[in-house]
Amino acid sequence: MIPPEGCAAILWRDAGRKVEAAEALKLTAPDMLRLGIVDTIVPEPVGAAHNDPASAAGLLDRAISGHLAVVKAMSSEERLNARYAKFRSMGRLGIDYVEAAS
């Protein structure tokens, strides 16, 4: 996989267009959520995480705790099946697209 900077340098000869390249490559957080690669997007505190690490840690703690509670309520078999299904579905969009175009 190519990083957005490399993609931008190849396509537009301008690594500064990395944000545009990331959007074209579907590497943004909303894209990852829609594609099922990530489970949630954890918001940053106002002013960004590096300006308020304690608040950022709290937001992350709440997100992880919520997901762990859901997983903990599942049986071992349910967890394994859910994990298997999630990883098997990754990349499916590209396969479906190629099959639809054929």
Instruction: Please report the pLDDT score of residue 48 as a whole number.
Output: 92
Q: Distance (Å, rounded) from C-alpha 62 to C-alpha 60?
A: 5
Assigned domain for 89 exists: no
Instruction: Please report the pLDDT score of residue 47 as a whole number.
Output: 92
Helical spans, DSSP H, in the chain: 4-12, 18-24, 29-34, 53-72, 76-89, 92-101
Instruction: Please report the pLDDT score of residue 98 as a whole number.
Output: 52
Low-confidence stretches of the chain (pLDDT < 50) are 101
Q: What is the pLDDT of residues 20-42, one digit of tens each?
A: 888 888 778 888 888 888 899 99
Half-sphere exposure of 100 (CA within 13 A, CB side): 6
Judge contact between 56 and 43, C-beta under 8 A: no
Instruction: Please report the pLDDT score of residue 68 as a whole number.
Output: 96
Domain that holds residue 2: 1-38
Total structural domains within the chain: 1
Assigned domain for 70 exists: no
Instruction: Please report the pLDDT score of residue 94 as a whole number.
Output: 60
Assigned domain for 84 exists: no
Instruction: Please report the pLDDT score of residue 96 as a whole number.
Output: 56
Assigned domain for 61 exists: no
